[in-house]
Amino acid sequence: MKIRGILIFILFLASLILLPGFGAQTHGQEYEYTLPQGYFEYFKLNLNGSYALIYGVKANSSVTVDIMNADQFMCFNTTGVQREIYQQNSSQVVNGLLVTPGTYYLVVYSPFYPSAFNVYLNWTSLQFVKSTEVAQEEVTIPSQEYFFTRLHLTTMGSPFTLNLEGLSNESVSYVIWNSSTVFNSSDVTITLGQNYSFGYNIHLSPGVYYLNITNPHSESALAYFYYKIDPEYVNPYLTSLNRDDSFTMGLASYGYLTRPTSRHIP
């Protein structure tokens, strides 16, 4: 059983997370396993920095795919109780998240049937570099609270398409609103659109818009987000009088520079 198509796709997905223009190379590896019913396989990751982690699993029956930290895995391994950062149940899973220094486990569990499956892992180290070309930021959101910010005021000039991308270490939801909510995502660790495309593309009318990122968990969440505004046309009547100095270039100007890193999977 091969997942060459999924492997190529995940390499493509990982490349989309990179800031345009950097073009850093991504690397990946494919593994193949067979599980009896009621058993699980795990992959241990010892990470010493902030990483964009992308993973994919394809099986011949439905399996449970969890991302766990060290404490959650110890609980699962000793008691069978599942507590996880994020969980999906399917015969085909593609997902990603932002991970900070620590030990993590990708766990594939076959609760109902014997299962043959392939797994693919990719992670790339992240480093902030200065940039003034995109609106993006990394924020810490306290437990059961939300972060909000106003989008760049070029949204006032014409109808536009908003490309919103996000990656977080806990599942969070993304809301775009003006006088009412115009877009609302489910709780996710990565913003995947239709056909697993990275990011949400939202078509909106002219106006002032805000972004909310909500953390529903009992722990704080670290979230990285990026947005790009593509107006249908340049409105000559939208002048600098409509903008604050603090929003001249959107949000705080930081980018991600990717560097290949070695892997440790026992």
CATH code, domain carrying 33: 2.60.120.380
For residues 124 and 249, the answer to whether their CB atoms sit within 8 Å is no
Question: Nearest Cα to 109, choosing from 145, 71, 68, 147?
Answer: 68
Q: Which helix (H) or strand (E) holds 226?
A: strand 221-231
| Helices and strands counted in the chain (H then E) | 2, 15
pLDDT in tens, 118-159: 888 888 776 554 433 357 788 999 999 999 999 888 788 789
How distant is the alpha carbon of residue 71 from its chain centre?
22
> Do the domain assignments include residue 263?
no
Tokens 């809301």 map to which residue? 175
Q: Are 45 and 104 in contact (CB under 8 A)?
A: yes
Look up the CATH number of the domain holding residue 241.
2.60.120.680
Q: By the 8 A CB rule, do 251 and 149 touch?
A: yes
Residue 85 domain-assigned?
Answer: yes
Question: How many Å apart are CA 160 and CA 173, to the nearest integer?
Answer: 22
Judgement on whether residues 121 and 144 belong to the same structural domain of the protein? no
List per-residue pLDDT tens for the chain, 266 residues long.
333 444 444 554 554 444 433 334 344 566 788 999 999 999 988 888 788 888 889 899 999 999 999 999 999 989 888 889 999 999 988 898 988 899 999 999 999 999 999 888 888 776 554 433 357 788 999 999 999 999 888 788 789 899 999 999 999 999 999 989 999 999 999 998 877 778 899 999 999 999 999 999 999 999 999 888 888 876 655 554 344 443 333 333 333 333 333 333 33
Structural tokens at position 84 = 């996880």
In this structure, the answer to whether residues 96 and 149 fall within a common structural domain is no
Q: Give the global pTM.
A: 0.71
**The total number of structural domains that make up the chain:** 2
Does one domain contain both 117 and 9? yes
Question: Does the residue 167 lie in any domain?
Answer: yes
E strands of 151-187, at which residues?
160-177, 181-184
> Exposed, middle or buried: residue 21 (CB in 10 Å: 0-12, 13-18, 19+)?
exposed
CA distance 27 to 90: 25
Whole domain around residue 104: which residue ranges?
4-127
